[in-house]
């Protein structure tokens, strides 16, 4: 019996707080599809949760390279830079996030997903 896991399974595990399962699924997904932006994005979020900002930045840069830009991606990248002590780079990413979603300011309650 073959069990096929996909990125939705990884995000589901992450949302349930099961980071080890999410990480394992992301590794398997990236092994099969190394240029999948969403997998790199989730990998970056997982690294952020583990307090590994340099690995998070690299994963998030890969997400930006392979997929569309988004406020959520730039916010995560800004958080990673800030966690690593790179204030100027963090500020740049936060500004890019605002530029990508100017009609929906952070106080709307849905930003960056609006």
User: For residue range 91-107, what is the model confidence (pLDDT) as tens digits?
Assistant: 999 999 988 876 655 55
- Judge whether 113 lies within some domain: no
Expressed as residue numbers, the domain containing 28 is: 7-108
DSSP result, 11-49:
HHHHHTT-HHHHHHHHHHHHHH-TT-HHHHHHHHHHHHH
* Rounded Cα distance, 14 and 76, in Å: 15
CATH of the domain at 33: 1.25.40.10
CA dist 113 and 71 (Å) reads 8
Residue 2's pLDDT band (cuts 50, 70, 90): very low
pLDDT of residue 98: 86
Burial class (CB in 10 A: 0-12, 13-18, 19+), 13: buried
Under a CB-based contact definition with an 8 Å cutoff, are residues 104 and 110 in contact?
Answer: yes
**Count of domains forming the chain:** 1
Tell whether 1 is covered by a domain: no
pLDDT digits (tens, 9 = 90+) for 37-69: 999 999 999 999 999 999 999 999 999 999 988
Is residue 50 in some structural domain?
Answer: yes
Q: For residue 2, is it within any domain? A: no
Residue 114 included in any domain: no
- Is position 60 within any domain? yes
* Inside any domain, residue 34: yes
19 in any annotated domain: yes
Report the Cα 15 to chain-centroid distance in Å.
Answer: 13
Mean pLDDT of 82-86: 96
């Amino acid at each position: 019996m073959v069990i096929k896991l996909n990125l939705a399974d990884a995000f589901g595990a992450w949302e349930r707080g099961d980071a080890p399962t999410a990480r394992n699924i992301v590794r398997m997904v990236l092994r099969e599809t190394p240029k999948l932006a969403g997998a790199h994005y989730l990998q970056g979020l997982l690294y952020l949760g583990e307090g590994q900002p340099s690995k998070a930045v690299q994963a998030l840069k890969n997400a930006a390279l392979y997929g569309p830009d988004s406020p959520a991606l730039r916010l995560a990248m800004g958080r990673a830079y800030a966690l690593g002590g790179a204030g100027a780079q963090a500020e740049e990413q936060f500004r890019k996030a605002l530029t990508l979603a100017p009609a929906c300011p952070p106080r709307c309650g849905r930003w960056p997903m609006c």
